Amino acid sequence: MTEPAQIALRLERRRAEFGTRTPICAYCGETAIECLELHHVVGEKLDPTLKEIRCRNCHRKIEFQRDVAGLTGNGIHAAPALSTSEKMRNRMLGLAESRASEAQALRRWATEFEEALKKEEQSHE
């Protein structure tokens, strides 16, 4: 069995990795630290410093979308070397995929918020 001190140390390491004491997936709202990981927004090879917190499910969804679009090749370790212009193109398209995912989440939250406001108004009538 794991000691409480070991568990606390592991949690602190994860929080340090995320750079926050309250990590959250910005796409679905998941807060369980064991379900969160860092996502390289445009791919680690293209920009290793541009990262965001995603839950594993949202991370897999965006990676799949990128693979299908031919922007990444997760699991393909013998990828051809890219020219500078190809790298820049992939960075921009990768960022566009991330932003499209963000926009989808924002639309969903706005709808949920609007529905909650309507219910609140109805309960005050």
Mind listing the pLDDT tens digit for each residue in 48-65? Answer: 888 899 999 999 988 888
The count of other CB atoms within 10 Å of the CB of residue 32 is 10
**Predicted local distance difference test score (pLDDT) of residue 96:** 82
> For the chain, which residues score pLDDT lower than 70?
1-2, 73-80
Average pLDDT, the chain: 84
**Predicted local distance difference test score (pLDDT) of residue 23:** 92
Query: Per-residue b/e over 89-111, b at no fewer than 16 CB within 10 Å?
Result: ebbebbbebbeebeeebeeeeee
Cβ neighbours of residue 30 under 8 Å, at least 6 residues apart?
24, 36, 55, 57, 58
**Predicted local distance difference test score (pLDDT) of residue 4:** 87
CA distance 115 to 125: 16
